[in-house]
Amino acid sequence: MGANLKAIWLLPVLAIPLALAGFVTAQAASSSGLHVRPCNEKESAIESSPEVVRLFAGERPVFSWCEAVDVSWLPNAEILRFHTGIHTDYSLACTIVKATSESPARLIAAAGDGLVAKPSPNLPDSLSAMNDLLRSAHPTLNDSQLGSASIFYLFLTGRENRQSLFRGPESEHTLDETDYQVRFQKRRKRCLVLLSSQSGKWKFTFSSYKYGLNLDSVVENSSD
């Protein structure tokens, strides 16, 4: 993924509308305690670690600032989103995650700001990194938390609701979930989650397995 990350940021995203039927009444997502804060000195230095540098295969952008997210059901995870400065009319972002201190670092191409194409949230490497996190969840997530898990994934990929065109460093805050409308439908071992917000509409497909939940796919601009 590292060698292709720059190209991914510049590729157009193809959205596949998909009609959904039979969803329960829409409701706002409840707060799940996703706390976003500025990275500390140790976390900020991770971008220069040999393990992370290798993920970029020699094409690592020059990052200007970093934010971390603390998730109640991921007590041992490290989740950091790095941002470049604004280059005239765009900036780039990526997310580095480690499910546990023993896990390898994973790279997620996140949406930047301004005039830059946004990578698809359905990229296999991004889904795989999310599933590493889901498998390490403690306690294991239940169906009632899938709305919050979906919003969390939007944060990982840089597609969450935002207040301005260009993001900048912020003080510690809780990821706002109240602007999202959530609908879901259970289909045997699968659960479909439809999110609707000012940033668009999204369909998430989760599967239940022996060891917990798996995010199978994400469809952007999905309609019901």
Stated as kind and residue range, the H or E segment containing 82 is: strand 78-84
pLDDT bucket at 21, cuts 50 / 70 / 90: very low
Mean pLDDT of 163-188: 83
What's the pLDDT score for residue 177?
79
Pairing of the two strands 181-187 and 90-98: unpaired
Instruction: Give the C-alpha separation, 52 to 154, whole Å.
Output: 22
What's the pLDDT score for residue 212?
82
How distant, in Å, are the alpha carbons of 8, 95, 103, 166 from that of 111?
Answer: 10, 10, 24, 11
State the pTM of this model: 0.83
What's the pLDDT score for residue 18?
32
First to last CA, the chain: 33
Mean pLDDT of 118-123: 92
Nearest of 38, 47, 103 to residue 70 by alpha carbon: 38
Q: Tokens 């790279």, residue? A: 107
